[in-house]
Amino acid sequence: SYELTQPPSVSVSPGQTVSITCSGDKLGDKYACWYQQKPGQSPVLVIYQDTERPSGIPERFSGSNSGNTATLTISGTQAMDEADYYCQAWDSTSVVFGGGTKLTVL
């Protein structure tokens, strides 16, 4: 079965840029989405179709996808961005989620 691998945790200082990666076999040939989940809340879509931002998502969130890796980048990270982030893709007949990355804003 298809798997997406994310680092368990990433940390960043306020105002800095942070990247969260999601790796999978030929992931660049598929479309990736990213979801933000804060404690006790439902996930929220922040990036879809690799690079698109839904309305209401700040411009500091951006995405890319090439080769075997999709990347979520947050520029000028704010304390409110501290959350778990999940990547997601579609593989033939199944939706696959990554294991999640906990972003800590120090």
Partner 1 sequence: QVTLKESGPLLVKPTETLTLTCTVSGFSLSNAGMGVSWIRQPPGKALDWLAHIFSNDEKSYSTSLKSRLTISKDTSKSQVVLIMTNMDPLDTGTYYCARIIGGQDLFGSNWFRFDPWGQGTLVTVSS
Residue 103 binds partner 1, judged by CB under 8 A: no
Question: Which among 32, 60, 36, 59 is positioned nearest to 46, based on CA atoms?
Answer: 36
**Nearest distance from C-beta of residue 95 to partner 1, angstroms:** 4
Residue 3 binds partner 1, judged by CB under 8 A: no
**Nearest distance from C-beta of residue 69 to partner 1, angstroms:** 17
Between 75 and 97, CB nearer to partner 1 = 97
Both structure tokens of 73:
């980048």
Residue 5 binds partner 1, judged by CB under 8 A: no
Question: Which among 73, 95, 89 is positioned nearest to 26, based on CA atoms?
Answer: 89
Residue 30 binds partner 1, judged by CB under 8 A: yes
What number of helices (H) and strands (E) belong to the chain? 0, 9
**Nearest distance from C-beta of residue 53 to partner 1, angstroms:** 12
Kindly identify the residues of this chain, within the stretch 33-92, that bind partner 1 according to CB under 8 A: 33, 35, 42-45, 48-49, 54, 86, 88, 90
Q: 42: exposed, middle or buried (C-beta count within 10 Å: 0-12, 13-18, 19+)?
A: exposed
Alpha-carbon distance of 38 to 26, in angstroms, equals 29
Q: Which residues contribute to the site for partner 1 (CB under 8 A)?
A: 1, 29-31, 33, 35, 42-45, 48-49, 54, 86, 88, 90, 93-100
